Amino acid sequence: MQDLTAFQRDMLYVVAGLDEPYGLEIKGKMEEYYDVEVNHGRLYPNLDILAERDLLKKGKHDERTNEYEVTEKGRRFLDQRSAWEQQHHQPAAPAQGD
């Protein structure tokens, strides 16, 4: 598996879950999840790293906006990660009375 930070991994999941993700949309979803502001100096370098590792494809939406797409390699990574999580994570038992 790729050696990604949790932030990078989470961004990959976010991009995979959006129809036509662009930087500010990804930023908004990451801020919702982390409940903190994600500045551009953190967001875009990490998107570039994912693109350099061929996990994301970076394209032009318009003159000022890039859009991102998960590559086949990125999808394999997410599938492997999900399988690993399912193998190692046991859901909590329901509380008594539920």
Instruction: Give, in degrees to the nearest 5, the angle at Cα 29 between 45 and 79.
Output: 80
CATH, domain 6-81, list 3.40.50.2300, 1.20.1440.230, 1.10.10.10, 3.40.50.970: 1.10.10.10
In the predicted model, is pLDDT for residue 86 greater than 90?
Answer: no
Q: Which residues, 6+ apart, have CB-to-CB distance to 71 below 8 Å?
A: 54, 55, 56, 57
Q: What is the dihedral of CA 70, 47, 35, 98, to 10 degrees?
A: 20
Query: Average pLDDT for residues 49-75, to the nearest whole number?
Result: 93
pLDDT digits (tens, 9 = 90+) for 26-58: 999 999 999 999 999 999 999 999 999 999 999
Tell me, yes or no, if the pTM score tops 0.85.
no
